[in-house]
Structure 1
Amino acid sequence: MLRNIFNTAFRNLWKHKLFSFINVFGLASGMLVCLLAMIGIKGAFEYDSFHPNPDRTYRILTDVTTQTNDEQGYATSPMPLADALKKQYPFVEEATRVVRNYGDFTANRKQLPLIFSSVDPGFFRIFGFTLAKGQAAIAPQSVVLTPKTAERFFGTANPVGKRIDHTQLGALTVSGVLAEPPAKTHLDFDMLVSIATLTGSDWVRSQTNWGQYTQGYTYVLLKPGISAPTLDEILPSLAARVTKGIRFTSEKGYTFRSQSLSQLTPASEELMLGTYEPTIGKLITEMAVGLLTLLLATFNYINLTLARSLSRAREVGIRKVSGALRWQLMGQFMAESAFLSILGLGLAYGMLQLVKPMPFVQQWLIGGVEWEQDIRVWLVFITFSLVTGLLAGILPARILSGFQPAQVLRSQTGIRVFRSITLRKSLIVAQFAISLFSMITLLGMARQQHYMGTADYGFQRDNILTIPLNGFPANRLATSLNQLAGVERVTATAALFGDHGGDWRMIYRQRTGGDSVVTDVFATDSHLLPTLGLTLLAGQNILASVSDSASRLVLLNEEAVRTLRLGEPGAAVGQTLWLNDSIDVQVAGVVKDFQFTTLVWKIRPLMLRYQPTHFRYLNVKVATGNPEAAKADIARIWKKLNPYEPFAGVWYNDFLSDRHSHTDDISFMGLLLGLAISIACLGLLGMVTYTTQLRTKEVGIRKIMGARIDQIIWLLSWDFLKLLLLAGAIALPLGYLATRFFLMTFAYHISVGMGMLSLCFGTMLLLGGLTIGWRTYRTALTNPTDSLRSE
Structure 2
Amino acid sequence: MLRNYLKTALRTLWKHKLFSFINVFGLASGMLVCLLAMIDIKGAFDYDSFHPNRDRTYRILTDVTDKTNDEQGFATTPLPLAQDLARNYPFVETVTRVVRIYGEVTANRKQLPVVCSAVDSGFFDIFGFKLAAGQAAIAPKTVVLTQQTAERFFGTANPVGKVMDHSEFGPLTISGVFTKHPARTHLNFDMVVSTTTLSTPAWQRALTDWKQYAQGYTYIRLKAGIPIETLEASLPGLASRVTKGIRFAAEKGYTFRSQALTKLSPSREDLMHSTYEPTIGKLEAELGVGLLTLLLAAFNYINLTLARSLSRAREVGIRKVAGALRWQLMGQFMAESVILSVLGLGLAYGMLQLVKPMPFVQQWLIGDVQWENNGTLWMVFVAFSVVTGLLAGLLPARVLSGFQPAQVLRSQTGLNVFRGITLRKSLIVAQFSISLLAMISLLAMARQQHFMATTDYGFKRDGLLTIPLNGFPPARLSADISQLAGVERVSATVALFGDHGGNGQMVYRQKAGGDSSATDVFAADANLIATTGLTLLAGQNLPVSVSDSASRLVLINEEAVRAFKLGEPKAAVGQTLWLNDSTDVQVAGVVKDFQSTTLVWKIHPLILRYQPNDFRYLTVKVTGGNPEAVKADIARIWKRLNPYEPFAGQWYDDFLYNRHSHTDDLNFMGLLLGLAVSIACLGLLGMVTYTTALRIKEVGVRKVMGANVGQVVWLLSWDFMRLLLIAGAIALPLGYLASSFFLMTFAHHITVGIGLLSGCFGTMLLLGGLTIGWRTYRTALTNPVTSLRNE
The alignment's TM-score, normalised by the length of structure 1, stands at 0.98
Residue of structure 2 in register with 1:647 after alignment: 647
Q: 5 Å matches for 1:52-71? A: 52-71=52-71
Is the counterpart of residue 447 in structure 1 residue 426 in structure 2? no
Is the counterpart of residue 501 in structure 1 residue 501 in structure 2? yes
Residue of structure 2 in register with 1:34 after alignment: 34
Q: After superposition, give the CA deviation of every residue in 1:669-709 in whole Å (9 maximum; x if it has no partner).
A: 11111111111112222322333233333222222211121
CA positional deviation for 1:505 = 2.5
Quickly say closer, same or farther: Cα 1:789–1:313, change in 2 above 3 A. Answer: farther
Residue of structure 2 in register with 1:785 after alignment: 785
- Structure-2 separation of matches of 1:720 and 1:412: 22
Confirm or deny: 8 A CA contact 2:543 2:550 kept in the other structure.
Answer: no
Q: 5 Å matches for 1:68-467? A: 68-467=68-467
- Structure-2 separation of matches of 1:690 and 1:71: 59
> 1:293 is matched by which residue type in structure 2?
T
CA positional deviation for 1:753 = 0.7
Runs ≥4 residues deviating over 4 A: none
- Structure-1 separation of matches of 2:103 and 2:168: 9
| Bigger mean CA offset, 503-512 vs 355-364 | 503-512
- Structure-2 separation of matches of 1:147 and 1:550: 40
- Structure-2 separation of matches of 1:391 and 1:758: 36
| Bigger mean CA offset, 773-782 vs 720-729 | 773-782
Confirm or deny: 8 A CA contact 2:538 2:591 kept in the other structure.
Answer: yes
- Structure-1 separation of matches of 2:630 and 2:312: 73
Quickly say closer, same or farther: Cα 1:548–1:578, change in 2 above 3 A. Answer: closer
Confirm or deny: 8 A CA contact 1:60 1:257 kept in the other structure.
Answer: yes
SS in 1 for 2:774: helix
Residue of structure 2 in register with 1:661 after alignment: 661
CA positional deviation for 1:651 = 0.6
- Structure-1 separation of matches of 2:465 and 2:588: 28
CA positional deviation for 1:22 = 1.1
CA RMSD of aligned residues (A): 1.3
CA positional deviation for 1:645 = 0.4
Confirm or deny: 8 A CA contact 2:22 2:683 kept in the other structure.
Answer: no
CA positional deviation for 1:201 = 1.4
CA positional deviation for 1:294 = 0.3
SS in 1 for 2:658: helix
Confirm or deny: 8 A CA contact 1:307 1:689 kept in the other structure.
Answer: no
Q: After superposition, give the CA deviation of every residue in 1:166-225 in whole Å (9 maximum; x if it has no partner).
A: 132111000111111110000110001101000111221122211110010000000000
SS in 1 for 2:255: strand
Q: After superposition, give the CA deviation of every residue in 1:112-165 in whole Å (9 maximum; x if it has no partner).
A: 100010000001111111111011000000000000001111111111111011
SS in 2 for 1:585: strand
| Bigger mean CA offset, 119-128 vs 572-581 | 572-581
CA positional deviation for 1:508 = 2.4
| Bigger mean CA offset, 319-328 vs 612-621 | 319-328
> 2:693 is matched by which residue type in structure 1?
Q
SS in 1 for 2:504: strand
Confirm or deny: 8 A CA contact 1:534 1:592 kept in the other structure.
Answer: yes
Confirm or deny: 8 A CA contact 2:18 2:686 kept in the other structure.
Answer: no
Residue of structure 2 in register with 1:14 after alignment: 14
CA positional deviation for 1:789 = 4.0
Confirm or deny: 8 A CA contact 1:440 1:760 kept in the other structure.
Answer: yes
Residue of structure 2 in register with 1:25 after alignment: 25
> 1:761 is matched by which residue type in structure 2?
F
CA positional deviation for 1:434 = 0.7
- Structure-2 separation of matches of 1:8 and 1:705: 42
Quickly say closer, same or farther: Cα 1:782–1:405, change in 2 above 3 A. Answer: farther
Is the counterpart of residue 541 in structure 1 residue 544 in structure 2? no
Q: After superposition, give the CA deviation of every residue in 1:303-337 in whole Å (9 maximum; x if it has no partner).
A: 12222333333333333333322222222221111
CA positional deviation for 1:576 = 2.3
CA positional deviation for 1:548 = 5.2
SS in 2 for 1:256: strand
> 1:556 is matched by which residue type in structure 2?
I
CA positional deviation for 1:790 = 5.1
- Structure-1 separation of matches of 2:624 and 2:32: 50
Confirm or deny: 8 A CA contact 1:550 1:612 kept in the other structure.
Answer: no
Residue of structure 2 in register with 1:483 after alignment: 483
Residue of structure 2 in register with 1:518 after alignment: 518
- Structure-2 separation of matches of 1:56 and 1:663: 43
SS in 1 for 2:517: strand
CA positional deviation for 1:759 = 0.3
- Structure-1 separation of matches of 2:574 and 2:93: 54
- Structure-2 separation of matches of 1:765 and 1:273: 45
Q: After superposition, give the CA deviation of every residue in 1:420-473 in whole Å (9 maximum; x if it has no partner).
A: 101111111111111111111111111001000000001111111100000001
| Bigger mean CA offset, 210-219 vs 619-628 | 619-628
CA positional deviation for 1:32 = 0.2
> 1:649 is matched by which residue type in structure 2?
G
Q: After superposition, give the CA deviation of every residue in 1:477-512 in whole Å (9 maximum; x if it has no partner).
A: 001111111211111000000001111123223222
Structure 1: state its 5+ residue gaps.
none
Confirm or deny: 8 A CA contact 2:96 2:122 kept in the other structure.
Answer: yes
> 1:18 is matched by which residue type in structure 2?
L
Q: After superposition, give the CA deviation of every residue in 1:740-778 in whole Å (9 maximum; x if it has no partner).
A: 111111111111111110001111111111111122212
- Structure-2 separation of matches of 1:207 and 1:508: 18
CA positional deviation for 1:235 = 0.5
- Structure-1 separation of matches of 2:267 and 2:530: 49
> 1:204 is matched by which residue type in structure 2?
Q
- Structure-2 separation of matches of 1:128 and 1:506: 34
Confirm or deny: 8 A CA contact 1:507 1:581 kept in the other structure.
Answer: no
SS in 2 for 1:551: helix
Confirm or deny: 8 A CA contact 2:41 2:283 kept in the other structure.
Answer: yes
CA positional deviation for 1:270 = 1.0
- Structure-2 separation of matches of 1:545 and 1:759: 55
Name the count of aligned residue pairs. Answer: 791
SS in 2 for 1:55: helix
- Structure-1 separation of matches of 2:185 and 2:508: 38
SS in 2 for 1:514: strand
- Structure-2 separation of matches of 1:581 and 1:761: 60
- Structure-2 separation of matches of 1:93 and 1:163: 34
SS in 1 for 2:55: coil
Confirm or deny: 8 A CA contact 2:293 2:676 kept in the other structure.
Answer: yes
CA positional deviation for 1:372 = 0.4
SS in 2 for 1:710: helix
| Bigger mean CA offset, 54-63 vs 601-610 | 601-610
The alignment's TM-score, normalised by the length of structure 2, stands at 0.98
- Structure-2 separation of matches of 1:452 and 1:115: 24
> 1:369 is matched by which residue type in structure 2?
V
CA positional deviation for 1:103 = 0.4
- Structure-2 separation of matches of 1:400 and 1:785: 33
SS in 1 for 2:511: coil
